[in-house]
Amino acid sequence: MATTADFKMGMCIEMQGDLLMIVDFQRFQTGRGASNVRTKLRSLNTGKTFEHTFTGGEKIEVATVERRPHQYLYKDENGFVFMNTNTFDQVSLSDDMIENSDLMKEGEHVHVLYHADREVPLNVELPQFVELEITYAEPGISGDTAKNTLKPATLETGAEIRVPLFINAGEKIRVDTRNRAYYERVK
């Protein structure tokens, strides 16, 4: 058992029969009242994100979750196939267990979250940044100098993101997997 004072980003808790990951939290206090903790939680079973407010000092059941290194191999009709890099066991996971799965290319190293007591895969965590090649991007028009102007681009995995005007097809870029945003050009 833990309390709201023990909250950390990425911590997994059990509440109402569901496994939840803390995506964001903020402590606040109103006047002379008790402190509260506003949280943004993501269900590891359904993938849905919602907000919940805990009262200060509330007891929380912490779930034991393990992050294990895996490598993405391929996609078939059953889902995405991953291989544990330590034991070489393969596991097939559905698309709803992977956030931003279209940013993942074959051979990518990821972490799969497992419920330690039940040995059940819960979620796939992509690395914070991935390097992908742009297969198609409209050419930037000379004279477009407005600040932060972005254009659509298609990546080698088929994903579409918005990139600055100076980025062209054939270039490699680094993409932030948390918000699907262009980060920088890879040299």
Going from N- to C-terminal start, the domains of the chain cover: 2-62, 65-125, 129-185
Q: What is the pLDDT of residues 151-186, one digit of tens each?
A: 999 999 999 999 988 889 999 999 999 899 999 999
Banded pLDDT at 30 (limits 50, 70, 90)? confident
Specify the higher pLDDT residue, 141 or 66: 66
Q: What is the pLDDT of residue 146?
A: 62
pTM of the complete model: 0.76
* CB 113, CB 142: distance < 8 Å: no
Which CATH architecture group holds 129-185? Beta Barrel (2.40)
- For residue range 81-108, what is the model confidence (pLDDT) as tens digits? 999 999 999 999 988 888 888 999 999 9
Looking at residue 1, what is its pLDDT?
Answer: 84
d(CA 117, CA 176): 32
Residue 31 burial (10 A CB sphere; 0-12, 13-18, 19+): exposed
**CATH class, 2-62 region:** mainly beta
Averaged confidence pLDDT in the chain: 89
CA distance 111 to 122: 11
The model's pLDDT over 111-122, given as tens digits with 9 standing for 90+, comes to: 998 888 888 888
Distance CA 32, CA 51 (A): 24
| Residue range 136-160: mean pLDDT, rounded | 82
pLDDT at position 81, please?
Answer: 95
What's residue 144's pLDDT?
58
CATH number assigned to the domain with residue range 65-125, chosen from the 4 options 2.160.10.10, 2.40.50.140, 3.30.420.40, 2.10.210.10: 2.40.50.140
**For residue 12, which amino acid is it?**
C
**Shared fold status for 65-125 and 129-185:** yes
Residue 142's pLDDT band, with cuts at 50, 70 and 90, is: low
